[in-house]
């Protein structure tokens, strides 16, 4: 798939602007999502994998607390594979669906020992074969655990990409596929961190803070916001005064 010059320019502009705001030195390890922090502290793909599963349907802050509690006692696949299920549940209780997730991460640790000698595989194809690992989790492990360019896509990345006109999709899965067809690979590694930070900070699901955003010129959602209506009203008033 080829990318038009205008789409390429727009993506470059978006990434440049968001990088200045959220990753000024271009270092993913300086990010503020739970995964970025865990990577900065441990550089361990296993911990990225487990934290990504804990993060499903859970706020970032709770993922961080649960991950820290869990890894303070069970730091590798061997320890977690032999862990007491009740104890794992207690440690990860801050996250949603903690009972279900406790069983999943113990089972996953056993599978890593059986199939991969306790290591986390570093290809998308092998990761996706693991229990509880879907496309988003596999891509998070590749980006944050191994520094392999991919575009993990959660609801923030999905919403922001649609608002900015990078895709026109209905689901995060479709957004992920489309982004990887249209966004030049040089930007993949940072898209998840940048769009999540932007989606929580300015481009919020409800009540986006558009006056602080640099993308009103081409944002598809901006014309539907109160900020746009107010700007149009001001322009009409100014035109009347001049007439």
Distance, CA of 14 to CA of 20 (rounded, Å)? 10
Contacting ligand SF4 (CB under 6 A), which of 13, 177, 216, 231? 216
- Segment near ligand SF4 (CB under 6 A), from 24-32, 81-89, 127-135, 203-211? 203-211
163 binds ligand SF4 (CB under 6 A): yes
- Of 119, 115, 127, the C-alpha closest to 152 is 127
Size of the residue set binding ligand SF4 (CB under 6 A): 12
- Segment near ligand SF4 (CB under 6 A), from 43-51, 96-104, 186-194, 219-227? 219-227
46 binds ligand SF4 (CB under 6 A): no
For ligand SF4, the closer of residues 42 and 228 by Cβ is 228
Distance, CA of 59 to CA of 224 (rounded, Å)? 28
Distance, CA of 180 to CA of 152 (rounded, Å)? 10
- Segment near ligand SF4 (CB under 6 A), from 107-115, 123-131, 147-155, 206-214? 206-214
For ligand SF4, the closer of residues 37 and 156 by Cβ is 156
194 by DSSP, 3-state: which?
helix
- Of 59, 62, 63, 61, the C-alpha closest to 49 is 63
Q: Are 175 and 169 in contact (CB under 8 A)?
A: yes
User: Which residues would be at the binding site for ligand SF4 (CB under 6 A)?
Assistant: 163-164, 202-203, 208, 210, 213, 215-216, 219, 221-222
């Amino acid at each position: 798939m080829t990318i038009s010059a205008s789409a390429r320019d727009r993506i470059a502009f978006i990434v440049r602007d968001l990088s200045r705001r959220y990753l000024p030195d271009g270092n993913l390890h300086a990010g503020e999502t739970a995964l970025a922090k865990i990577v900065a502290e441990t550089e361990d793909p296993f911990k990225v994998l487990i934290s990504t599963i804990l993060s499903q349907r859970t706020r970032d802050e709770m993922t961080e607390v649960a991950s820290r509690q869990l890894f303070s006692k069970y730091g590798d696949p061997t320890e977690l594979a032999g862990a007491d299920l009740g104890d794992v549940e207690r440690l990860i209780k801050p996250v949603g669906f903690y009972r279900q997730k406790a069983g999943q991460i113990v089972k996953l640790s056993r599978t890593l020992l059986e199939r991969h000698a306790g290591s986390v595989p570093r290809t998308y194809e092998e990761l996706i074969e693991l229990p509880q690992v879907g496309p988003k989790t596999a891509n998070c492990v590749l980006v944050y655990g191994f520094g392999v360019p991919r575009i993990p896509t959660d609801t923030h990345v999905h919403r922001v990409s649609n608002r900015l006109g990078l895709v026109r999709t209905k689901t995060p899965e479709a957004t992920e596929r489309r982004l990887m067809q249209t966004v030049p690979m040089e930007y993949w590694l940072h898209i998840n961190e940048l769009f999540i930070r932007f989606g929580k900070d300015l481009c919020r699901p409800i009540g986006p803070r558009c006056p602080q955003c640099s993308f009103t010129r081409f944002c598809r959602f901006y014309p539907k916001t109160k900020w746009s209506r107010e700007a149009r009203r001001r322009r009409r008033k100014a035109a009347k005064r001049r007439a």
